[in-house]
Amino acid sequence: MTRAAFFDLDKTLIPGSSLYLLARGMYERDFIRVRQIAGFAWTQMRYQLFGKELMNQVDDIQAGALEFVKGRHQDELRALGQEIAEEQIMPRVYADIAHTIDQLKGLGYETWLLTAAPQELAGVIAQGLGMTGALGTVSEVDDAGFYTGRLAGPLLHGEEKKKAVERLASERGFDMAECHAFSDSKNDLPLLESVGQAHAVNPDAELRRIARARGWPLHELRTRRRLLLIGVPSTLAAVGLVGIGAFIGAALARRRSTSA
């Protein structure tokens, strides 16, 4: 049975906001004005300090992004996204998460990036990490390939992530009970609840509370301390930086032993 692992991007794979990093890279290339980057900087500061990821804020950020790409050609933005991802985003990916992605691939899992960030950016990041693919927010383009300033579908956020994964599972034959999902936010609770193994990575306060109540593994990557594994079997409690992969491997071994 085909299995998959799904990863959120902001504050799960990287610290902070990928959309802000994209905006900063666009500002450095004279694509946007100082006023626009200042707004992104303020949003980023609140995001970092308080972990607030309210839906109306995400919508506002996305609307601003759509406005300053309006009239640009898709090929231009793809090339720009490639440059900015290599310069601003890939160096910030948590090493533990990159290692976990590699371990899961070694165990036969497909690995997918799920984010409200633009599909063009999500695809570049997933490719850089050697992942199977990415699902992001899709912007509308006209027949000539220019952005219209509108979305081609819903913002890939919250419940929409769960719906996207369910469609993907139907297409590719995933058994959701065998799948993993990694996220930092309670907003991804629909996705986390839809898989057999949910992981809370750098969780906000509400997701931390839920994860502890349900016995989900917690992975804290925001400090220089060794990776913390909370709520997993005591025999795995001392596992360090490769703890996520070890947890998965041990669970699979127990399952095989039980079925035998």
The region of weakest confidence among 67-81, 160-174, 188-202 is 67-81
Per-residue pLDDT of 113-158, as tens digits, reads 999 888 888 999 999 999 999 999 888 889 999 988 888 888 888 8
> Cβ of 134: how many Cβ atoms within 10 Å?
23
Catalytic positions: 8, 10
Is-contact 113 122, C-beta < 8 A? yes
Q: Decide if pLDDT at 162 tops 70.
A: yes
Q: Give residue 2's pLDDT.
A: 87
Which domains are present in the chain?
3-15+93-259 (3.40.50.1000)
- Single-letter amino acid, residue 28: E
* pTM beyond cutoff 0.85: no
The region of weakest confidence among 12-21, 57-66, 96-105, 226-235 is 226-235
Q: What percent of the chain has pLDDT over 70?
A: 70
> Cβ of 226: how many Cβ atoms within 10 Å?
13
The three-state DSSP-derived secondary structure of the chain is CEEEEEEECECCCECCCHHHHHHHHHHHCCCCCHHHHHHHHHHHHHHHHHCCCCHHHHHHHHHHHHHHHCCCEHHHHHHHHHHHHHHHHHHHCCHHHHHHHHHHHHCCEEEEEEEEEEHHHHHHHHHHCCCCEEEEECEEECCCCEEEEEECCCCCCCHHHHHHHHHHHHHHCECHHHCEEEECCHHHHHHHHCCCEEEEECCCHHHHHHHHHHCCCEEECCCCCCCEEECCCHHHCCCCCCHHHHHHHHHHHHHHHHHC
- For residues 199-223, b (16+ Cβ closer than 10 Å) or e, as one string? bbbbbbeebbebbeeeebbbbbbee
- Single-letter amino acid, residue 159: E
Please tell me which residue, 12 or 228, carries the higher pLDDT value. 12
Q: Give residue 120's pLDDT.
A: 86
Q: Decide if pLDDT at 176 tops 80.
A: yes
The region of weakest confidence among 41-55, 81-95, 190-204 is 41-55
Please tell me which residue, 150 or 96, carries the higher pLDDT value. 96
pLDDT-based confidence at residue 73 (cuts at 50, 70, 90) = confident
Per-residue pLDDT of 1-49, as tens digits, reads 589 999 999 999 999 888 778 777 777 777 665 555 554 454 544 444 4
